[in-house]
Structure 1
Amino acid sequence: MSDRRRLFPLGCALAVDMLGSGVFLPVSILYFTNVTGLRLSMVGPLLSAAAIASLPVPLIVGHFAERYRPLDRVIIAQLMQGAAFAAFGWVHDPVSVLVVAMVAAVGQRLFWSSFFSVVAGLASPGEDSRHADRRYAAAGMIQMAAIGGGALLGGLAVTYGWYRPIVYLNAATFLVSALLLLLVPRDAPTPAAEPVSGGYRALLRDRPYLLLIGVNTVFALCSIFVGVAVPVYLVDALPAPHWLVGPLLTANTVLLASGQRLAVRLVRPLSRPQGLALAGAFWVLWALAYAAAIRVPGVALVPYLLLGMVFFAAADLIHAPLSNALSAAAAPPAQRGRYLAVYQYCFAFANILAPTFFTALYARGPAIPWLVLAALATGATVTMFSLQGPLAAREKAPDSPTVPSTA
């Protein structure tokens, strides 16, 4: 079955989903404080508790990954999130907010624990294994473009106080996304696979893959760090104009939405581990450059910060598609769904760690978080480069002859 017949409805479903999520992003905290009347000091812990409660989801998904189509799991995730956001219009007390937020968080975790298995299953028999990089790049570009466009609309919603309509709009986008996913062609059901021996014990003994997860957790922390640290750093520690925060973050989003396929072509001569090591080196340069920003004269600060963001953008453009492609190529074909579900913990842990990591170190000095991040990224880069050998055989092995399409 042609790649395009699968990619078009899948890409449309992802775009609709991310558009709704982007619209809700600027409204998320304000909705609960302005509509439900809950205090800000209560909303934060409730949403954090809901996110923590969803952490077991990838393990559960991994346990059942080889028994159910990943596309079916993604559709269920969209229906769960759509129902949860529709219910947000009716919550009014801490208990109901927590319950509905947990359903939304579980649905979101289920989506990301299953979506990349769908993308991995698009491989055609005999295709070049590096063709997967372009598919992941396309998915990443759709994601960033839709989130960016949605965030602009969400900003207007904040301006005019359209909190409740935005929640219902987000619920509708999840349901529309689920309907679009029904248009993705399904393969004929395949006979039940033989039981995979080892279960999670096999994964825990797979040292190269565990190191890959550890390395990508650091790289995910670097990627998330820009949104957590840059606004505070620019406003509180540097004599930079406050208006610079928006353009810096927007420029990065635009680059991610438009440049991932170009980045994939440029690093094609490198293996995936080498490409990710290059991304790590760019993140080291970015962190060191921003750590040194407190010593830059005010007159040169704006161009200096803009130039520094070039290193971040280069790292993110390379990392986004290659990390997902490598995680799929490095997973044993018979356990790919399980491995990819667990791999999503990289991003879950990074999201949980980033705020505390930054605030605790920032209290010791504005440059300290950047220097520690540079040290972590250096260690991760060296480790990734050392994985070149162990992962080489897995990376070069063609996906499709051993892995049937799972969409």
Structure 2
Amino acid sequence: MAVTELLGLPRTRGRLPLVAAQGVDALGTGLFLPFAVVYFHAAKGIPLTAVGAALSAAALLALPAGPLAGPLVDRFGPRRIVVAANALRVATFTGYVFAGSLGQLVVLAALTFWGEGLFWPASGALVAQVADDGQRARWYAMERTLRNVGIGLGGLAGSALVIAGGYTTIVVLNAASFLLAAALVAAWRGGRTDPPRTDPPQTDPPRTDPPRTVRVVARRRGYRAVLADRAFRRVLVTVFVFALCDLALTVLLSAYVLDTLRLLAWQPGVLFALNTVLVVLAQTVVARRVERFGKPRTLQVAAAVWAAAFLLFAVAPLAAPLPVFAVLTVATAVFTAAELLQAPTSSALTVALAPPHLRGRYLGLEELLWGVARVLAPVTFTALLGAGPQLPWLVLAGSCMLAVVVLAGLRAVPEPAATRETTDA
């Protein structure tokens, strides 16, 4: 067995510029992400509370980006929108260097979030367009691995650059990374070079949606067609639940460990590092291992595993005589196992449900729900944590079991026929 197959990597011949673009994008993001709030406070003199409010307002203003990206991707093709989204972020990060007021921060941050809202549906559609049939989940897994590696290495490099050259250096380099990523994608004209193949056989029974639903989706071209898809309406429920689950680690864990459990300050960092290392080492391998299972079934398992992780987080302070940090470590590992199952499978399921001419719109609605979750997660999780230390974890566990029930009503998804798709010119 080839090493690439053993590691669960997709076939990339003829598509290496796209892989390079993903890596450069992730590295640049890693340079800036850990210092985003600090940059505006330390380099621009804006109070921390004002920075937080400005970023939240910018995120709200950017919520329409995902739904708008859908028609643009379907009309102009994903490659053009990926290039445009990166170009927009080049402009905004360049603007950060010269911005000095709170109002300018809100405008530039909103445009940055718009760039991200355009980028993710377009990037998902581009992967769906160029990946070999049956390997889309592997591509999404590889993209996620590259992002984690890039953010980790970028964070380390960013720390050194802040010491050597100040915060402005990492902002300029992040803008340069988006420019290079845009150039790589814009210059790439490749299509598939390997013969397509079909996906591994699915173990679930074939999907039998009512014929009228199928005809409606095929005939209409707008969001009415997307919302007429009963299966995708179920998927959207799980997208929102899984987005909240994913955000729990970044939004909730540090506050829970430090403020509620009163543990040592270094421990959240170790838990985050464990999560990152496991994703980097195992994501593509897990994606290959679960290919033979139906996507809805895999997501059901992911939701159940996530529920188990949240219950472990909830009982951590009650786990004496076991050390609390040991329980949190196990909970983080279980949490990561759920992520490894869910992340590539969820994206591949959305793409499998979408007719090619509506793929951008399907992914655009998925991005909208992620945006809503990013807005609601901080205020919701902190309010629940204030009401009781176990409450947010129990609510998340219950939400995961709801996702299991919703997915139980989703029959197996017919995979796209093994046909060649060319990239947009």
Common topology (TM > 0.5): yes
Q: Are 1:123 and 1:400, in contact at CA under 8 Å, matched by a contact in 2?
A: no
Q: How many residues align?
A: 390
Match of 1:334 among 357, 378, 388: 357
| Aligned-partner residue type, residue 167 of structure 1 | V
Question: Cα offset for 1:367?
Answer: 0.7
Would you say 1:113 and 2:121 are equivalent positions? yes
CA distance in 1, matches of 2:386, 2:345: 34
Q: Are 2:311 and 2:393, in contact at CA under 8 Å, matched by a contact in 1?
A: yes
Alignment of 1:242-257 (within 5 A): 242-257=265-280
Instruction: For residues 80-135 of structure 1, give each alpha carbon's deviation from its aligned partner in whole angstroms, at most 9, with x where no partner exists.
Output: 101110111101112222222222121111111210000000144xx4x3x22211
Alignment of 1:159-238 (within 5 A): 162-186=166-190, 197-238=220-261
Counterpart in the other structure of 1:37: 45
Secondary structure in 2 matching 1:27: helix
Would you say 1:404 and 2:421 are equivalent positions? yes
Structure 1 pair 78/6, CA: closer, same or farther in 2 (3 Å)?
farther
Would you say 1:82 and 2:90 are equivalent positions? yes
Match of 2:73 among 52, 65, 73: 65
Instruction: For residues 155-212 of structure 1, give each alpha carbon's deviation from its aligned partner in whole angstroms, at most 9, with x where no partner exists.
Output: 3445567211111111111111111112322569xxxxxx962511112222210110
Would you say 1:149 and 2:166 are equivalent positions? no
| Aligned-partner residue type, residue 259 of structure 1 | A
Instruction: For residues 15-68 of structure 1, give each alpha carbon's deviation from its aligned partner in whole angstroms, at most 9, with x where no partner exists.
Output: 111111111011111111112111112111211222211111222222233221
Alignment gaps of 5+ in structure 2: 1-9, 193-217
**Two-structure CA RMSD over aligned residues (Å):** 2.1
- When structure 1 is superposed on structure 2, of 67-76 and 260-269 the one drifting more is 260-269
Match of 2:397 among 361, 365, 374: 374
| Aligned-partner residue type, residue 72 of structure 2 | F
Question: Cα offset for 1:6?
Answer: 4.2
- When structure 1 is superposed on structure 2, of 364-373 and 99-108 the one drifting more is 99-108
| Aligned-partner residue type, residue 229 of structure 1 | L
Structure 1 pair 239/104, CA: closer, same or farther in 2 (3 Å)?
closer
CA distance in 2, matches of 1:50, 1:237: 30
CA distance in 2, matches of 1:334, 1:251: 40
CA distance in 2, matches of 1:186, 1:341: 25
Structure 1 pair 6/56, CA: closer, same or farther in 2 (3 Å)?
farther
- When structure 1 is superposed on structure 2, of 41-50 and 313-322 the one drifting more is 41-50
Counterpart in the other structure of 2:264: 241
Alignment gaps of 5+ in structure 1: 189-194
Q: Are 2:14 and 2:191, in contact at CA under 8 Å, matched by a contact in 1?
A: no
Question: Cα offset for 1:330?
Answer: 1.1
| Aligned-partner residue type, residue 269 of structure 1 | R
Identity %: 35
Would you say 1:280 and 2:303 are equivalent positions? yes
The TM-score with structure 2 as length reference comes to 0.87
Q: Are 2:309 and 2:334, in contact at CA under 8 Å, matched by a contact in 1?
A: yes
The TM-score with structure 1 as length reference comes to 0.90
Instruction: For residues 346-382 of structure 1, give each alpha carbon's deviation from its aligned partner in whole angstroms, at most 9, with x where no partner exists.
Output: 3212211211111110111111110111111111122
